[in-house]
Amino acid sequence: MRKMHFVGIDVGSTSTKLIALSINADIIGRVVILSGAGTRADEKAVEELYGASGLEKIACRGIVATGYGRNIFAGADKQVSEITCHARGLNFFLPEVRTIIDVGGQDLKAIRVNANGGIEQFVMNDKCAAGTGRFLEVMSKVMCIDISELGEYDTQSTEIQVISNTCTVFAESEVISKLSAGVGTANIVAGIHDSVARKIVGLVSRIGVKPEVTLTGGGALNAGLVRATERHLKCGLKLPADPQITGALGAALIALETYKPTDEKASV
């Protein structure tokens, strides 16, 4: 029999994430595509899900879209803000968390939640690239390092080279000057992570830090950024097992929770 399922899709600025849940809230499909809004990655993610999971579109009972490009995904039954979806997804993964820091491709968000994943307060920086994945991407290109390798370089540093500018354009010039002066790449990387961490802490301090604290989004995959953030927050971070999919998971949970069954029977 066809397996009833619910889909959440997070169309970000640099990547698209999709989660399929069973009626019992088990993850039965997962897709991450490193292309975001404007690339039709949303369509590719749906095709990949149904091509690889054995699920059938006809058995989908709800699709919720979130993220930067949520309004351009034509297949959604409903669009929900990423603030709400990240809070809901993190509550599913880590119910003890009360402060969420989401490092996205183009923005940075700090969210404080209650025990049910409801939003108490939030603040976001979406006016410049400082503290975002875009900042890290630009800096990695300047140093000719793949962004996925930044965490490893950080472990080799012997000191933190302070990057005083948070503006991406000026920070880029500062990094180029340091490289020209012969400063070690690993120490510059540590300085870049320290700069982003300072921006993160400055933002999250506006809503107040309540433990436990988590880091999510692509930035949570960067061990150097995690260490720098922990150092500035003066506390450890609880990390979800799969930090990239929390928004999509939250969207899928909302699709499941708003489903109103009729007389149909689910095949679970």
Tell me: the pLDDT tens digits for 9-55?
999 988 999 999 999 999 999 999 987 667 789 999 999 999 988 89
Residue with tokens 């961490």: 197
The CA-based dihedral angle spanning residues 17, 20, 24, 26, taken in that order and rounded to the nearest 10 degrees: -60
What region does 54 belong to: left with phi over 0, alpha with psi -120 to 50, or beta? Answer: left
pLDDT at residue number 267: 46
pLDDT per residue over 127-174, tens digit each? 677 778 889 999 999 999 999 999 999 999 999 999 988 788 889 999
Measured CA to CA, the distance from residue 94 to residue 175 in angstroms comes to: 37
The two tokens of residue 111 are: 């969210």
At residue 107 the predicted structure's pLDDT band, cuts being 50, 70 and 90, is confident
Determine the straight-line distance between the first and last CA of the chain, rounded to whole angstroms. 9
Share of the chain above pLDDT 70, in %: 95
**Of the candidates 58, 62, 57, 61, the residue with the CA atom closest to the CA atom of residue 47:** 57
Q: Report how far residue 223's alpha carbon sits from residue 69's, in angstroms, rounded to the nearest whole number.
A: 27
Distance CA 91, CA 95 (A): 4
- Hey, what are 15's tokens? 């990547």
Our CA angle for 219, 222, 223, nearest 5°, is: 135
Average pLDDT on 69-73 reads: 91
The kind and range of the H/E element at 219 are none
Integer CA distances (angstroms), 43 to 16, 25, 67, in order: 10, 23, 15
- The hierarchical CATH code for the domain 98-239 is 3.30.420.40
256 SS3 class:
helix
To which residue do tokens 């397996």 refer? 3
- Cα–Cα distance, 256 to 259 (Å, whole number): 5
The CATH 3.30.420.40 domain(s) of the chain lie at 1-94+241-268, 98-239
Mean pLDDT of the chain: 91
pLDDT-derived band at 100 (thresholds 50, 70, 90) equals: very high
Q: What SS3 class is residue 79?
A: strand
Q: What is the pLDDT of residue 204?
A: 95
Q: Which burial class, exposed, middle or buried, applies to 236 when counting CB atoms under 10 A from its CB (0-12, 13-18, 19+)?
A: exposed
Identify the H or E element spanning 149.
none
Is CATH 3.30.420.250 what the domain over 1-94+241-268 is classified as, yes or no?
no
User: Is the pTM for the entire model greater than 0.85?
Assistant: yes
Q: Give the total residue count for the chain.
A: 268
**Residues with Cβ within 8 Å of residue 245, at least 6 apart in sequence:** 10, 17, 19, 30, 32, 89
Residue 93: pLDDT over 60 = yes
Q: What is the pLDDT of residues 204-216, one digit of tens each?
A: 999 999 999 999 9
The pLDDT of residue 36:
66
